[in-house]
Amino acid sequence: MIFANRGIEVKTPDQLRTMRRAGLVVAQMLAATAAEARPGITTAELDSVAAEVLAANGATSNFLNYGDDANGEGGFRGVVCLSVNDEIVHGVPGERVLAEGDLLSIDGGAIIDGWHGDSALTVPVGAWPSGGEALSDACRDSLWAGIAAARLGERIGGISAAIEASLAGTGYGIVEEYVGHGIGSAMHQPPDVPNQGRPNRGPKLTAGMALCIEPMITLGSPANAVLDDDWTVVTTDGSLACHWEHMITVTQHGVWVMTAEDGGEEMLNSLGVPFGPLSD
Ligand code: MG
Ligand code: MG
């Protein structure tokens, strides 16, 4: 691997194309899991839906057993994080039965030929809970504002500032403790991609970098805590939370959203941002 400044892994075009394949599997997995998210299903059953998509595509999971210690203990048990209502991120699949009006964030990843994909979305279980749809829309909009700020020569701080500006005046909380990240031959790599920040700060975006941008926001205070399972992160005031994430790269032509089925073309066009996929 080639590492540029600050330990940032520089991918070749072929490596990025493999990451795109992983990203498409993740998109398919999230869509299939979201489609089955209905009242009465358990989060363990939803995790199985996601696992089937990975298996059908010859992909492996970068979430399953993440964080295991040397004894194979303590890691994450699931191929997706399923975070419900006041759970912000890292909800562990289990016996919880989803109910009408729950707000569900689904975060999942895939590995193809050693290269990683990672993405998240938020959906209602049946009808949206009060305030949930606007919260999710604002979170998704802020993700795309961050994506739209990405271009060669821009700095990470420009992405962070765009996310923060998109949420300014909404009254929603922005979770500070969990942030976006570089991705490639491992799921979590430098640089951090914070959801708040100032332009012209941080590493410069260069060709061959891949980033996960992932705002997490709350209806109330963004203060949070980790439950006794050592994974699930919840809002301390019990307010709703949501999470959207995409994996992107920036080419000389524009932005390529590797975890969007269309590569981000439609949204980027509507935002007036050049769509810049690598050719096959
Ligand atoms: Mg993720
Ligand atoms: Mg991520």
Distance 178 CA to ligand 1 centre (A): 11
**pLDDT of 50 higher than 60:** yes
Given this model, what pLDDT does residue 6 score? 72
The answer to whether position 3 is within a domain reads: no
For residue 57, the 8-state DSSP code is: T
Ligand showing the shortest atom-to-Cα distance for residue 109 = 1
By three-state DSSP, how is residue 118 classified? strand
Q: Is the dihedral of CA 41, 124, 246, 172 positive or negative?
A: negative
Here the CATH number for the domain that contains residue 50 is 3.90.230.10
Given this model, what pLDDT does residue 4 score? 60
Total domain count, the chain: 1
User: What is the arrangement of strands in the sheet containing 115-125, beginning at the earlier edge strand?
Assistant: 80-84, 102-112, 115-125
User: What is the arrangement of strands in the sheet containing 255-257, beginning at the earlier edge strand?
Assistant: 189-193, 180-182, 210-213, 246-250, 255-257
Given this model, what pLDDT does residue 99 score? 98
Ligand showing the shortest atom-to-Cα distance for residue 181 = 2
**Angle between helix 156-167 and 132-148 (nearest 10):** 150
The answer to whether position 280 is within a domain reads: no
The answer to whether position 1 is within a domain reads: no
Q: Are 80 and 28 in contact (CB under 8 A)?
A: no
For residue 208, the 8-state DSSP code is: T
Distance 17 CA to ligand 1 centre (A): 19
Q: What is the mean pLDDT of residues 149-168?
A: 97
The answer to whether position 2 is within a domain reads: no
The answer to whether position 99 is within a domain reads: yes
Measure the CA–CA gap between 170 and 166, rounded to whole angstroms. Answer: 9
Measure the CA–CA gap between 222 and 216, rounded to whole angstroms. Answer: 9
Given this model, what pLDDT does residue 5 score? 64
**pLDDT of 3 higher than 90:** no
Q: What is the mean pLDDT of residues 36-61?
A: 98
Residue among 65, 66, 28, 67 nearest 50 (CA): 28
The answer to whether position 47 is within a domain reads: yes
Distance 187 CA to ligand 2 centre (A): 7
Tokens of 165: 């500006």
* 14: containing domain: 8-271
